[in-house]
Amino acid sequence: MNILVLAYQLSPTKGSEYSVAWNYVQRMSKYHHLTVIYGVSGTHLGDCSEMKNYIKEKGGIHNVVFIDVQPNKWVNLLNWCNRHNFFNYTFYFAYHEWQKQVYGIAKRLHDSEHFDLIHFVGPIGYREPGYLWKMDIPYMWGPIGGADNASIKLLKKSPLSSKFKFWIRNIINSLQLKYSHQLKRALSRTDLLLTATSENQTIFKKRFGKPNFYLPENSITTSVTLNYNKFSDETKYHLIVIGRLVAGKAVNILLEALTYLSNRHKIIVDIVGDGPMRTAWETYARRNHLESIVKWYGELPRTEAVKLFNEAHLHVVTSVKEGNPTTIWEAMSYGVPTMSFDHCGMHDTICDKCGILIPIHTYDQCVHDLAKEIDNLIDHPEQFKQLAEGVLQCAKKYSWDKREKIILDCYDAAIKNHNSRCVK
């Protein structure tokens, strides 16, 4: 088939949303011809130099045409505050207008290319459905997420500005789900909706009566391995955190939990990433005498960051709000179990065979339960190996090889649903 793909963020080297789209394009181009519209491979809308250089140096990908849609003057003006890290929410106004550009280009492309299917791959957020659903072509959207509210309890000791941001986010989220006319129209014209978490699946089914298929937004792209040598040293255990150091990642909860550990001297915590909260969290670590066990790597190339999983015994996620973090799949590919709070995509992906889920009742309970579970692992180090071997088993469910078949079936379902809708 000839498929039009919208993937706002796209990069062969970055993680998160960038890798979601990149992995999809690489895999599905084996079966169909893809025309991929994207808007960013760098930091801000219009920063596409990385992808352009990749295409120039590597020759692109067989069966794929890449089209970067550069923001016009109006979009750039709307995005000015965001680019200068001032009132970042203006990005959504810019992104909305950029979607209008995409729609115009897509219609012109369809006149000459005749697409069999449109797939809106990313970003994962549901808030801006764009306009491609208006085209009279089978339309698949997702996996999408973001309909669930953030857990404000986990922000108890975050800056007031961060609490306010997530509080406003939850209010806007509820209002958009209830009143967004564009969202309702887009959903009504979507022939197959994919949702990234079971909670989002339930929300879209209950609130909109929209049948949808649960599918995490990403999965494991490489072979799954396990470094058994790391279990031979029972004097040090490595915990790893990877991600942008922002309030929403709530790394401060892990740092506070470390202060309660009985076995603090037996662990090393590798923190990979940078961001506005790094200075405050490093200061907290020094004040609480954690500098000997916490190593701050800053931002590393993705290829370097994932190598740290080879020595890691446990991957820790303390986020206030997530879909399915790309780091979970990367941890799984190295046989590393994940400890997380029991919500978001982690609730669906992590089980007692391959990790530890901590319930969310209160902030203090989360801190103490995190410390208790880490201490328990160190007191019973054989559990690190047991969980790692459990990861090897669970990882089989989340390979991209299996995902390819699922998406191909979704294409067929979207076309069938579209044809049925048109007949009606």
What's the CA gap between 379 and 246, in Å, rounded?
A: 32
- In SS3 terms, 5-38 reads as EEECECCCCCCHHHHHHHHHHHHHCCCCEEEEEE
Instruction: Report the relative pairing of strands 117-122 and 64-68 from DSSP bridges.
Output: unpaired
In a domain, 196, yes or no: yes
Q: In the predicted model, what is the mean pLDDT of the chain?
A: 93
Q: Judge whether residue 275 has pLDDT over 80.
A: yes
Whether residues 192 and 46 fall in one domain:
yes
Whether residues 299 and 408 fall in one domain:
no
Give the residue numbers spanning the domain of 264.
Answer: 228-398
Whether residues 160 and 254 fall in one domain:
no
- In SS3 terms, 80-108 reads as HHHHCCCCCCHHHHHHHHHHHHHHHHHHH
What total of structural domains would you count in the chain? 2
Whether residues 198 and 253 fall in one domain:
no
Whether residues 315 and 416 fall in one domain:
no
Q: Judge whether residue 91 has pLDDT over 90.
A: no
Whether residues 232 and 335 fall in one domain:
yes
Predicted local distance difference test score (pLDDT) of residue 424: 62
Whether residues 375 and 410 fall in one domain:
no
Predicted local distance difference test score (pLDDT) of residue 303: 80
In a domain, 414, yes or no: yes
pTM of the prediction? 0.90
Percent of the chain with pLDDT over 90: 78
In a domain, 223, yes or no: no
Model confidence pLDDT, tens digit, residues 349-369: 999 999 999 999 999 999 999
User: C-alpha angle with apex 351: 347 to 355, nearest 5 degrees?
Assistant: 100
Q: Using an 8 Å Cβ cutoff, are 397 and 406 in contact?
A: no
Model confidence pLDDT, tens digit, residues 198-245: 999 999 999 999 999 999 998 998 889 999 999 988 889 999 999 999
Angle 400-423/16-28 helices, nearest 10 degrees? Answer: 80
In a domain, 53, yes or no: yes
Task: Tell me which residue of 388, 398, 275 sits closest to 335, measured CA to CA.
Answer: 388
Model confidence at 421, pLDDT cuts 50, 70, 90, reads: confident
Sign of CA dihedral 350, 254, 256, 88: negative
In a domain, 252, yes or no: yes
Question: 3-state class of 290 per DSSP?
Answer: coil
Whether residues 313 and 418 fall in one domain:
no
Predicted local distance difference test score (pLDDT) of residue 43: 87
Domain containing 64 — which CATH number? 3.40.50.2000
Average pLDDT over residues 335-360: 95
